[in-house]
Structure 1
């Protein structure tokens, strides 16, 4: 689907209803807040420290109309009970976007899994107790497609097996979403739950907060990567992921449903590198042009935990079925090339990449 034929979420339809967004300073959270404000909602968002409140307001103002009094920032931590009932109070909807994503490999997987699982339960419990109509929770393709199956074709019926050999983040998304559905079945009361499971999220940044996926594009443009792992994955534009959250929030038929969202066919890191080279000219002079071989990947994964995920996906080209979101929610994503180019342009716009990088050298190619 090309960018020009997309159907945007109607603006000004929120009627001033109050929506809680968890993790408002994050990459996706900032786009969700922007989408809600443009649609006429009032937004309350949680952060672990109120020191970040000014940045959140500045990001929202820079992404669209000044939020004025329509944006409130409150303190609540996924690791603690305090603040969640107050945060959910008087809200019609809750968009639970926040989830721990470690910058490096944690010493123990529970450092990621426990906050993700218990944080989701804290949010759901508070929403139920405060009379919220619906929680839309951000899960991930990580919870759907990291257990091998014949054909590697995935939709909302598929689940990653948490007992597989998974990285802590992937396991955390699976465990947290399972816990959320179990909570709803056992004690959800009148609350509705809808889950959004995006593939790898790329697209423009609104502030200097870099998601892991965007940091990978930055590393390509900076010349920090000489070669890339041979891994294929789905791409979802952060603007489209924010849009589908807002759509799912109010669609009556979305209650109790799970939506896999991704744009087009799975692509590789090398294809992303080629897109950058094709569309950015000299600004992509440092972008890698080679993939690790399977043997190099296996060898590297022995000592580099970051390569474990790529190794687990070696030889796999997943097919992601997103018909449900397109048909039920009227969701139409941007094309992948637009997403990748817009990611890069936003990094340059924020001054996060040298605008005149030195050309790739032979020594760099073989680093």
Structure 2
């Protein structure tokens, strides 16, 4: 399969235009920042605190040869006074709103996720409308806003025309992404003509790939737990995934392509069973001193565990089933070819060891240059 270029085409727009990236220190956003700097854009990023060196320093080091030095400003998703957001948006032609909470466990109060997702999105859009000058906003949504039901239709191929049915049993994260995206479309569609700007949404599946921002997060949990041998056995569950480099490409191409305005784009490479992922990692890393679990868990045992593990409880209806997504708009409109899932997984694992997010063994040799 053809691999996507690491430097995206940026259409006919001038690369000297300023782009705001919210949540710049996050997994997806850091790749957006790096790719845009490499393409010559002037990039401004928001972070919660400029004093957090662990989050900030890696951002300045990602693209040392950039034409424009990265600019970072502080902003909070729940700052409804909008002062910081209006300052952040000022002078920007495009806005990539990437910041949104992504939990590694189900919260007791779903509003912990829903409030910052919905209100944060609306605060950024309000700032764009009030300041003016923004041509297009690209919002990071998720396939969780396409299909988030506990028991979806596995015989169906889901597309951008589909929405998560909030009348069914839906998890807090799925609800937060659905409500946030719907709120965004509703807000922009109701803007008066003199304040209106274009909106596009990116709906990735489970995002994996190389870590460049120097810290761990929910997206790294699967690989981290397998590599650290923190799971005794593997559930017969499939993970529909995409590469973070493709997701960043999608944001940048959707930012300028005329055909992308007013559209949703599913970003998905395909599905991998946990057994497939573990076997691939074990084959690659066992000679380097790692012991990745490859034993399959019996369904009856997993069902018992699910009584005490809400995260497992949510995915048990997907046991032995795979979701299917139509990624034709990703390939035909944005002209992005997905990375092979196997490469995505290995690149992620190597980057996590290299960034010391997974302990190094004495036998670790690093990623072969040819891979």
Higher helix share: 1
Does structure 1 conserve the Cα–Cα contact (< 8 Å) formed by 2:48 and 2:75?
A: yes
2:51 alignment partner, SS class: helix
Report the alpha carbon displacement of residue 266 of structure 1 after superposing the two structures with TM.
1.2
Does structure 1 conserve the Cα–Cα contact (< 8 Å) formed by 2:96 and 2:251?
A: yes
- Aligned equivalent of 2:164, options 156, 160, 163: 160
Partners of 1:188 and 1:233 in 2: CA distance: 41
Equivalent pairs counted in the alignment come to 355
Unmatched tracts of structure 2, length 5 or more: 364-371
1:180 alignment partner, SS class: helix
Report the alpha carbon displacement of residue 56 of structure 1 after superposing the two structures with TM.
5.1
Does structure 2 conserve the Cα–Cα contact (< 8 Å) formed by 1:254 and 1:328?
A: yes
Q: Do structure 1's residue 350 and structure 2's residue 352 form an aligned pair?
A: no
Does structure 1 conserve the Cα–Cα contact (< 8 Å) formed by 2:159 and 2:327?
A: yes
Q: Describe the shift of the 1:150–1:219 C-alpha distance in structure 2 as closer, same or farther (beyond 3 A).
A: closer
Q: Which deviations, in whole Å up to 9, do the C-alpha atoms of 1:49-75 show, x marking residues without a partner? A: 2213x4455323443334585311111
1:363 alignment partner in structure 2: none
Unmatched tracts of structure 1, length 5 or more: 359-367
Q: Do structure 1's residue 18 and structure 2's residue 40 form an aligned pair?
A: no
Report the alpha carbon displacement of residue 195 of structure 1 after superposing the two structures with TM.
0.3
Report the alpha carbon displacement of residue 119 of structure 1 after superposing the two structures with TM.
0.6
Does structure 1 conserve the Cα–Cα contact (< 8 Å) formed by 2:40 and 2:66?
A: no
**Normalised by the size of structure 2, how large is the TM-score?**
0.89
2:298 alignment partner in structure 1: 293
Partners of 1:47 and 1:60 in 2: CA distance: 10
Does structure 2 conserve the Cα–Cα contact (< 8 Å) formed by 1:30 and 1:59?
A: no
1:45 alignment partner, SS class: strand
Q: Describe the shift of the 1:327–1:219 C-alpha distance in structure 2 as closer, same or farther (beyond 3 A).
A: same
1:44 alignment partner, SS class: strand
Partners of 1:153 and 1:284 in 2: CA distance: 40
Q: Do structure 1's residue 320 and structure 2's residue 320 form an aligned pair?
A: no
1:139 alignment partner in structure 2: 141
Partners of 1:7 and 1:70 in 2: CA distance: 20
Does structure 2 conserve the Cα–Cα contact (< 8 Å) formed by 1:112 and 1:168?
A: yes
- Aligned equivalent of 1:305, options 293, 310, 319: 310
**Normalised by the size of structure 1, how large is the TM-score?**
0.90
Alignment of 1:1-367 (within 5 A): 1-3=1-3, 6=5, 8-10=7-9, 14-52=14-52, 54-55=53-54, 58-67=57-66, 70-81=69-80, 82=82, 83-131=84-132, 132-147=134-149, 148-149=152-153, 151-187=155-191, 189=193, 190-263=196-269, 265-283=270-288, 285-356=290-361
Report the alpha carbon displacement of residue 188 of structure 1 after superposing the two structures with TM.
6.5
Report the alpha carbon displacement of residue 10 of structure 1 after superposing the two structures with TM.
3.7
Report the alpha carbon displacement of residue 141 of structure 1 after superposing the two structures with TM.
1.0
Q: Which runs of 4+ in 1 moved over 4 A?
A: 5-8, 11-14, 54-57, 66-69
Q: Describe the shift of the 1:314–1:146 C-alpha distance in structure 2 as closer, same or farther (beyond 3 A).
A: farther
Partners of 1:234 and 1:284 in 2: CA distance: 28
Report the alpha carbon displacement of residue 105 of structure 1 after superposing the two structures with TM.
2.8
Partners of 2:301 and 2:333 in 1: CA distance: 43
